[in-house]
Structure 1
Amino acid sequence: MFKNKKIHFIGIGGSSMSGIADIMHNKNAIVTGYDLVESKITKRLVKEGIDVYHKPNLSYIDNADIIVYSAAINDNFEELKYARKLNKKIYERSEFLGILMQEYENVLCISGTHGKSTTTSMIATIFLKANLNPTISIGAMLPLINGNYHIGNNKHFIVEACEYVDSFLDFKPTSAIILNIQTDHIDYFKNLDNIIKSFNKFVKLLPKNGYLIVNNDDKNTLKAVCNHEKTTYGINNDSNYMAKNIKFDKLGYPSYDLYIDNININRVNLNVLGKHNIYNSLAAIALSHKYINDISLIVSALKFYKGIERRFEYLGKFKSANVFDDYAHHPNEVESILDLIKKTKHNRSIAVFQPHTYSRTNAFLKDFANILKDFDCIIIAPIYAAREENIYNIKEDDLLKLIKEENENVVFIDSFEKIINFLDKKVQKDDIIVTMGAGDITLLAHMLVGDNNG
């Protein structure tokens, strides 16, 4: 379908876009791409033989058969406007990914407000260890595949399915997971009811013989799938796949007895921290079991999963403090990080939080304050606007004031360099510093440990 087609990607440096671009490259398409800045991702694409540049170049649009653009690209961007003027075939990323899915026999889509990248990575690990060689697309870097995608065969395509701007409604799933549904992306969905409706539409994309797996402990998920045949997993409510007799070792790693349809099958030992990863692993086991009969193989393969980039990722030392980096940008995710830190031996907890988007900061202001106040020290970095204008008149000071009502040890610092200077004077032996946010706060984390390649 794509052999020798000239495909141009606008925003090729994005985690999903880069993976799709390289998949196309390996399908013998002629791939080019634009991205605003050079990064580890764009450098890797260039090494693969893909022509990537960082200034608009309309000649690439002239030559292209197909244009694929990221949702992060402004409608007025000159390459996109020019492509429309020429009446080129133009696809938004998710739309093009939906077309690509038609080339695969089984399309496994992992959706939910939280845990998508982790669960997708767990399933990818299981399939790889089972020698099934799936094609994989993840929204984070998985060390096992040295990236965020893997080009395998056309039998299984394991893909993270994001709900933002209803993008997952372009997909063609044969199997799907819904991990959880919570209020998020308020700039688009406006309210929780609209999010639930979106997931309900997603479920309806499954064919008659499709396989749906849902979190039986999540009431919003159950609302979205109430009239659909489903396989369930959970901890609290009776489910097809259950974790019982849960224990945490001294380092905080969980283990549990796996029950399938009320039969004790095996003991599961995880090499990732947190109760939320028990749920993620149950979802991964349930979906993998649809395609892999040997449950012992599935359970043993999970031991090889040790996490993905930016999920409470240990980076190294800053002076005598331990530095962790996390993608957390929703109150529930920040709360999960706090729970992990409580289970980790440390002196003081220092949160460096970069609020992500004005709409999310405005919607969850009190929730963020209520959780962040429980860190020993809180540093607020400037709000990362991403795609938004500040129509809410929200400021970092609004968050600071709310936290300060409960915890005096909170400051707003307006640059990464100043944050480093502040921490240089502040840190003590065995402190934990955790940088959190979905913007560029990860750069600060890498600066702290002397790594300029973040």
Structure 2
Amino acid sequence: MKGPVLFLGIGGSGMSSLAHMALDLEIPVIGYDQKNSDITDYLKERGVVLYHSIEEIPLNGIQMVVYSSAINDKHKEVFNRIKEQNIPLKHRSEFMHLLVSKQKSISVAGSHGKTSTTTMVSQILTEMGLNPTIMIGGDTSLLQKRGGKIGSGVYAVYESDESDGTFLKHKANFRLLTNIDNDHLDYYHTRENLEQAFLTYMGFDVPGEAVLFANDPGITSVLKSNYKTIVFEKDFHLSLLVSKEQTYEEWFQYLDSNYQNQMTVIEYEITSDCLYFVFENVKYSLTLPYPGIHYLTNGLVALTCALRLGIIPTKSIEILSRYIGVKRRQEILGTWNGVTVIDDYGHHPTEIRMVIQSLKEKNKANGKLHVVFQPHRYTRTKLLLNELADSLLGADYLYLLPIYSAGETPIDGISSMSFLPLVDKTNTVFLSGLVKEDLNEIQSKLLKGDILLCLGAGNVRDWGTYLLNHQN
């Protein structure tokens, strides 16, 4: 491809990752995004020509246009201009497949844990000297200031985002699935549609491999509901990860008896902060630098994938003991008067519950957990209000910010005040959304040894960084 390629919505995490990968291949890149950011600044450093007005973009000479799902009906005019000039138009998922088409691909899907698990697989392959192509929907030191890079190795590792259904195009050689939970129901409308999409992603009838964390209730539900119709393609292999306590019900016996030569089953158990698993009659233990059962189970998915690539467990375990983590996933921002300030991207009830439980357990002997929560999107808040409120009950002190709209139109009757009947009113404070004013309220309750957790997918991190930058 001679280029240039135009990326619409280049400031998004997925689109910017693809742009960096194109630059690695020396493809000229032009970008459009409404706002400047650290992401777009770095792209400009690498030579990207950036436009903030979509009408000003010159289309002459453009070889291809790549767009994300954030580019929608509001941009019909530019889509019409592109089509009139017969310029190929590709969704970001299609463009990614063009970039990795000559490598063996490893996709990571799931309602939660995609970014962490993708980073774990990428770290293992990188430290084993395999130089993979990587696309991660988060900021990690593995890639410095970018989310994607082209590697010269055999493998390409990337996240498969289910939010808009395009992950069904990712028929990768290795398909990893961490869990299935109620999310993006604004797109799927029903739980049944969501589960069917994930079942299709697993691809039992497509050559390749699937690694499933089968102890997850969502994955178990899909397998149990569909086991009679599941037929393995002859060149397909399934790795099932199950807890030692899990009951092998009829669905598992059926799969095991019919496809035992095409299956690997790994049993695990978790004690304190350690995960133990057995492979080929050898017992191994996995520990990570980050607290939480979800990190350990994500790690098991990653090292099982590595195992299927021929990397022995002891190597993966040693590498993951130094897991580098991802920005905005239990990221420690600093300390203020003996209070640890942590930022986390969690915005779905399951994610919220996991991070609160992990930090409460970690800090139980030291102090209280203060949670500044910023609800993400009006639609998600409306759909999951009860579940969101329930997941926040573990906080010792709860501070609720106004809803972060992410560009959505407000919904009548839906606001942070909607949580009021569902949370503990004695420890809940509603914040104004003005950082300095809000922190005056929060600081009065913080004591040495406490944790202040900034939680949400919007700009809630700003409350933590402001506190740290304005220390007494």
Aligned partner letter, 2:265: N
Aligned to 2:266: 241
Contact 1:271 1:303 in 2 (8 A): yes
Aligned to 2:179: 180
Secondary structure, counterpart of 1:199 in structure 2 = helix
Aligned to 1:279: 297
Aligned to 2:137: 139
Where do 1:282-361 residues align within 5 Å?
Answer: 282-345=300-363, 346-361=366-381
Alpha-carbon separation, structure 1, partners of 2:83 and 2:462: 35
Contact 1:257 1:264 in 2 (8 A): no
Alpha-carbon separation, structure 2, partners of 1:442 and 1:61: 38
Alpha-carbon separation, structure 2, partners of 1:34 and 1:240: 47
- 1:363 offset after TM fit, Å? 1.4
Where do 1:413-432 residues align within 5 Å?
Answer: 413-432=432-451
- 1:415 offset after TM fit, Å? 2.7
Contact 1:134 1:158 in 2 (8 A): yes
- The answer on 1:231 being equivalent to 2:239 is yes
- 1:223 offset after TM fit, Å? 4.3
| Shift in CA distance, 234/375, structure 1 to aligned 2, threshold 3 Å | same
- The answer on 1:365 being equivalent to 2:385 is yes
Alpha-carbon separation, structure 2, partners of 1:270 and 1:123: 14
Aligned to 1:375: 395
- 1:154 offset after TM fit, Å? 5.2
Contact 1:137 1:150 in 2 (8 A): yes
Where do 1:116-265 residues align within 5 Å?
Answer: 116-146=114-144, 147-153=146-152, 155-204=154-203, 207-208=206-207, 210-225=208-223, 226=227, 227=230, 229=232, 230-235=238-243, 236-237=245-246, 240-244=265-269, 246-248=270-272, 254-261=273-280, 263-265=281-283
Aligned to 1:446: 465
Contact 1:8 1:66 in 2 (8 A): yes
Superposition RMSD on alpha carbons, in Å? 2.2
- 1:159 offset after TM fit, Å? 0.4
Secondary structure, counterpart of 1:447 in structure 2 = helix
- 1:330 offset after TM fit, Å? 0.6
Alpha-carbon separation, structure 1, partners of 2:442 and 2:429: 13
Contact 2:347 2:455 in 1 (8 A): yes
After the TM superposition, which of the residue ranges 293-302 and 351-360 deviates more from structure 2? 293-302
After the TM superposition, which of the residue ranges 85-94 and 8-17 deviates more from structure 2? 85-94
After the TM superposition, which of the residue ranges 28-37 and 442-451 deviates more from structure 2? 442-451
Aligned partner letter, 2:290: V
Aligned partner letter, 1:218: D
Secondary structure, counterpart of 1:98 in structure 2 = helix
Q: What is the percent sequence identity of the aligned residues?
A: 28
Alpha-carbon separation, structure 1, partners of 2:408 and 2:43: 28
Alpha-carbon separation, structure 1, partners of 2:417 and 2:118: 37
Secondary structure, counterpart of 1:267 in structure 2 = strand
- 1:307 offset after TM fit, Å? 1.5
Alpha-carbon separation, structure 2, partners of 1:306 and 1:215: 22
Alpha-carbon separation, structure 1, partners of 2:218 and 2:57: 48
Contact 2:204 2:231 in 1 (8 A): no
| Shift in CA distance, 61/424, structure 1 to aligned 2, threshold 3 Å | farther
Secondary structure, counterpart of 1:12 in structure 2 = coil
Aligned to 2:110: 112
- 1:438 offset after TM fit, Å? 1.2
Contact 1:257 1:268 in 2 (8 A): yes
- 1:202 offset after TM fit, Å? 1.6
Alpha-carbon separation, structure 2, partners of 1:26 and 1:425: 50
- 1:308 offset after TM fit, Å? 1.0
Contact 2:140 2:324 in 1 (8 A): no
Map Cα deviations across residues 380-407 of structure 1 (whole Å, 9 max, x no partner): 11111224323463121111332145x4
Contact 2:7 2:32 in 1 (8 A): yes
User: Structure 1 stretches of 5 or more lacking a match?
Assistant: 249-253
Q: How many residues align?
A: 439
Taking structure 2 as the reference length, the TM-score comes to 0.87
| Shift in CA distance, 376/100, structure 1 to aligned 2, threshold 3 Å | same
Aligned to 1:83: 82
Taking structure 1 as the reference length, the TM-score comes to 0.90
| Shift in CA distance, 69/444, structure 1 to aligned 2, threshold 3 Å | farther
Contact 2:343 2:455 in 1 (8 A): yes
After the TM superposition, which of the residue ranges 234-243 and 154-163 deviates more from structure 2? 234-243
Aligned partner letter, 2:456: G
